[in-house]
Amino acid sequence: MKSIAAVLGLPALLVPLAVALPAQAGGPTVIAPEPVIAPVEPYVAPGMDWSGAYAGGQLGYADMDSSTGTLEGHGIIGGVHAGYRWDLGTFVAGAELDYDTTDVALGTAPGDSLDSVLRAKLTGGTEIGNSLLYGTLGAAKAKASVGGNDLSDTGYFVGAGMTYDLGNRWTVGGEVLQHRFSDFDGAGIDLDATTVTARVGFRF
């Protein structure tokens, strides 16, 4: 009996190839590459930019204490402020001037009062959402009327505040400051003042 190789006239080693070829008659099998899935980056909402000039007003309450216990009182305080901020990414720095007139009677003598406070501020804080939380310090110059005399002295203050952006460049906030005036105008009396104010501002 003749072998398949002899019938086909092929060498015996080529028989498996001849049998396999019909299976490939449809063309070579193409293996598609696996799809590459790019990682999805989480969305991070852009933060606010607090850089720029601003101005506004404040209204609040002042409480005065003295080392002698005589020149003490409390009352309304209010005024205006203006400044500039630099947004450095994770930190917001600023400088500000503010001026308050007051209605604080000092002691029991008629006419003794704290009249005004002018401040030069440095501020620094961090942004949380649409809010800016900050600390502040600087120099303060106070004017007072005591015993019919106009007195003035320069001291320092430290404090903290918060500003919230309402949109359309308007802001609201609050601030608490602690002031210290040593030997006020050479009178031998130390004065301390705590102020709490609500603030409204506009960013240019």
d(CA 170, CA 164): 9
Q: Which residues pair with 140 in a beta bridge?
A: 119, 155
- 163 lies in a domain? yes
Domain containing 56 — which CATH number?
2.40.160.20
Residue 1 forms part of a structural domain = no
Q: Is 44 part of a structural domain of the chain?
A: no
* Model confidence, pTM: 0.76
> Is 36 a member of any domain?
no
Counted domains in the chain: 1
Give pLDDT tens digits for 159-201: 999 999 999 999 999 999 999 999 999 988 999 999 999 999 9
- Write down the mean pLDDT value for the chain: 86
Average of pLDDT values for 3-20? 50
Q: Is residue 23 part of a domain?
A: no
Residues 81-135 pLDDT 10s: 999 999 999 899 999 999 999 989 998 788 899 999 999 999 999 999 999 999 9
Q: Is 24 helix (H, G, I), strand (E, B) or coil?
A: helix
Query: How many CA atoms, within 13 angstroms, populate the side-chain half-sphere of residue 171?
Result: 27
**Residue spans of alpha helices (H) in the chain:** 4-8, 15-20
Tell me which residue range forms the domain holding 110.
52-203
